[in-house]
Structure 1
């Protein structure tokens, strides 16, 4: 009896031991993650600190120090970072999404699988009736809520309005398609009520409507971003408070940097406002051939004075580069592209080439030169892929954009800053994103190799931390497999 009682007591202690906080068998959670013996890259100066340990509690970086000076908690999930390099999660600052179901199950996971932990969506809303590959702002917000609470794998997002085109020639001005200052101001209030984070400006907006939008948006502190309408100059958009200008450089800098600006702008404006432009590259080539560097430097000064950001989206302009040995139809990553998106790419390529025509190599050369010159002048560049246009894959496209920014003359560190520090500054979140500091959000990427040695090393992803969740290489591969299965349904 005594032996039996002792055995019961021992069994009881063993059972209790299995639930003890100190039991090493206890399942680790993402609430406490420790990354040991790794190299941190400071986004401010490119300094690499080796042999470092990070402690992350509930998605926040709480401790950074030398590995031999930090005591590890037995409750923590330990990640061995030996030979790895940590950078902040990347932001794609010119991204597109699709329908709610496609974005939820395919596009959002693709961003995370590629270390893209933040996106700026141009656009994340639509005026009803919506196109089948669009979402309303309510749907976009709903997905972001699910991301926040761990129900959906996806990036944090800055959500833009639908495309603001302006009134068509010969038609009456309306609030949704303004042609005058008054309707432009009313549109701002409509978009505020819808709850967008910024207004997406497009090409065809008349001058009066544009300045009405800009004036009211500035008063209401609702940023405007996007294209430079054909009827105004890039410097005027900067003076009007447009927070960022997209795409280099047709529609903005090519025009204003031409010695024949007045004549060629009139022709381009007429074509754009006709809503049926054709062979635009013939006019763009004239702009390039009449390029005046002194004029462009004056525009750069405006950008600096007004803190205007510029998103070149170089990878999107590469899709019709006749010297590039690439056909998106042969890309192995098509297994991650839904059928309806694939169909759109075919239509987009046909219409784009009809509108633009053939891109002369001189246009590409000048585009890359201007991006390099903007960077040298101190203009704040943003990395944006324009993913969703034909040939630019969701998530993957940002890494290609970083490579092209380096080709345009940026250093590897400067390229990284366009997707980290600069993105955080644009979003007014420099106190929590864009670098690796105590108190910052732990959206991080562990890389197998140093991206400062070669920017292509941003593709060598070992693991990703996003929204308080840790994804090792196996988990990231599983995400990609699930996406491919979803696409194949």
Structure 2
């Protein structure tokens, strides 16, 4: 029932929530209609609950929200909403649903997520446009979505699905072609040098396309916001530490990239660990609040994807039984079995590496404390940015990459984590 109510409420949000009124006499219903009776409507505009409402839906429209239990005409199916809540349809503002749409889209919608900002797809944009039209026309079951096509990275691109940009002319041509193909925004990645980033921004602004993504190492986060970056993705808190530490952290991360490219995993891990610890140890609340004010002035939104962060730094299960229980949760029943098995193998391998690295009990406990500190710091950072005035968006980064980050259901988990960080439920 919770799923049904959440789906229905998307029309409350998108088409306007009529003021609850008390009617006399039977409620007219033309065509296919049903009513949810006795439900509590969550009014997100006023931050109040409206109990004991009857919500009448005809076709794809909510046509009435009434107090009590009004008389309904014959032919109207009645759904018992007692002790249930009707909420607006949710958006995942950093998701990946277009790739493998056939099973991802129904899973997203079934969890009350009626909109997705898709943050990178290798699906041809002509197919994306047709898919969007099919969803809007009701020919296809799935969430509404906005999309951008492949993300833009420097050469060599970190993954083969990314679009490598190596020259200024290539940068301009890529943005022009994405705009012509129907991209609704441009996503940039970490390794773009400043000269190429400037070319991308110039063409994006020429076409009226927002640019969002990872803050490139060529910039500070504040500089990216000043250049017009509309969305900063993920709680990579090391970008938002004290200014003096941020410079050093960026230097370490550039070195990490260089060691990765020359195939030196030991050096790469050493640099990554140094940057990780420096980010924890030099976090400065006042500077983060000031950055939030800078975001607010520039119209930059922050998408922390806390649920993705939590998947990276979950506390180490103490027993094999506790580890196995992570992969027998009921919410995993809707996921492809091969994917769940892959997640389990991935986590088993990662924990093996951690056990090898933490060769003594003291090292093991230190690593566990650092993971806990990382989660605490990223939660605090989100709240501090918000205190400064930054707008916060709920996103998950759900696809298949991060174990236990689920399409659809993890949006609900993200909202819980945002409240844990210090935002109000409203």
| TM-score when normalising by structure 1 | 0.67
Report the Cα offset of residue 345 of structure 1.
4.1
Q: Are the equivalent residues in 1 in contact too, given 2:97–2:116 (CA < 8 A)?
A: no
Q: Are the equivalent residues in 1 in contact too, given 2:315–2:371 (CA < 8 A)?
A: no
Map of 1:163 onto structure 2? 151
- Is 267-276 or 43-52 further displaced after alignment? 267-276
1:140-155 correspondence to structure 2 within 5 Å: 140-155=128-143
Determine if the alignment matches structure 1 residue 390 to structure 2 residue 391: no
Map of 1:408 onto structure 2? 421
- Is 379-388 or 73-82 further displaced after alignment? 73-82
Map of 1:427 onto structure 2? none
Task: Determine the C-alpha separation between the residues in 1 that align with 2:73 and 2:63.
Answer: 13
Map of 2:105 onto structure 1? 108
Structure 1: stretches of 5+ with no match in the other structure:
1-27, 127-134, 170-174, 414-489
Give 2:247's match in structure 1, choosing from 257, 262, 276. 262
Q: Are the equivalent residues in 1 in contact too, given 2:232–2:303 (CA < 8 A)?
A: yes
Cα gap change, 1:240/1:206 in structure 2, threshold over 3 Å: closer, same or farther? same
Task: Determine the C-alpha separation between the residues in 1 that align with 2:190 and 2:290.
Answer: 23
Task: Determine the C-alpha separation between the residues in 1 that align with 2:94 and 2:413.
Answer: 13
Cα gap change, 1:282/1:193 in structure 2, threshold over 3 Å: closer, same or farther? same
Task: Determine the C-alpha separation between the residues in 2 that align with 1:98 and 1:344.
Answer: 21
Give 1:248's match in structure 2, choosing from 235, 247, 257. 235
When the two chains are superposed, the root-mean-square deviation of aligned CA atoms in Å is: 3.1
Specify the SS of the correspondent of 1:53: strand
Report the Cα offset of residue 305 of structure 1.
0.5
Cα gap change, 1:322/1:48 in structure 2, threshold over 3 Å: closer, same or farther? closer
Higher relative contact order (CA 8 A, sep 6+): 1
Report the Cα offset of residue 31 of structure 1.
4.4
Q: Are the equivalent residues in 1 in contact too, given 2:124–2:149 (CA < 8 A)?
A: no
Give per-residue Cα distances to partners, 1:4-59, cap 9 Å, x unaligned: xxxxxxxxxxxxxxxxxxxxxxxx99843433332221112311122323333432
1:63-462 correspondence to structure 2 within 5 Å: 63-67=64-68, 72-97=72-97, 99-100=99-100, 103-104=101-102, 106-124=103-121, 126=122, 135-168=123-156, 176-250=163-237, 252-254=239-241, 257-272=242-257, 275-276=260-261, 277-279=268-270, 280-323=272-315, 325=317, 327=323, 328-338=326-336, 341-342=339-340, 345=343, 360-388=371-399, 389-391=401-403, 392-413=405-426
Q: Are the equivalent residues in 2 in contact too, given 1:259–1:291 (CA < 8 A)?
A: no
Task: Determine the C-alpha separation between the residues in 2 that align with 1:343 and 1:251.
Answer: 32
Task: Determine the C-alpha separation between the residues in 2 that align with 1:196 and 1:232.
Answer: 25
Q: Are the equivalent residues in 2 in contact too, given 1:93–1:120 (CA < 8 A)?
A: yes
Specify the SS of the correspondent of 2:383: helix
User: Which has the greater radius of gyration?
Assistant: 1
Q: Are the equivalent residues in 2 in contact too, given 1:247–1:314 (CA < 8 A)?
A: yes
Give per-residue Cα distances to partners, 1:393-421, cap 9 Å, x unaligned: 221211221221121112222xxxxxxxx
Specify the SS of the correspondent of 1:63: strand
Task: Determine the C-alpha separation between the residues in 2 that align with 1:63 and 1:373.
Answer: 40
Map of 1:454 onto structure 2? none
Task: Determine the C-alpha separation between the residues in 2 that align with 1:49 and 1:29.
Answer: 26
Task: Determine the C-alpha separation between the residues in 2 that align with 1:297 and 1:304.
Answer: 11
Task: Determine the C-alpha separation between the residues in 2 that align with 1:334 and 1:38.
Answer: 28
Give per-residue Cα distances to partners, 1:384-442, cap 9 Å, x unaligned: 111122221221211221221121112222xxxxxxxxxxxxxxxxxxxxxxxxxxxxx
Q: Are the equivalent residues in 1 in contact too, given 2:154–2:191 (CA < 8 A)?
A: yes
Give per-residue Cα distances to partners, 1:191-247, cap 9 Å, x unaligned: 112212221211111112112212221221112121111111111221222221111
Report the Cα offset of residue 144 of structure 1.
3.3
Cα gap change, 1:295/1:144 in structure 2, threshold over 3 Å: closer, same or farther? same
Task: Determine the C-alpha separation between the residues in 2 that align with 1:291 and 1:150.
Answer: 48
Cα gap change, 1:281/1:383 in structure 2, threshold over 3 Å: closer, same or farther? farther
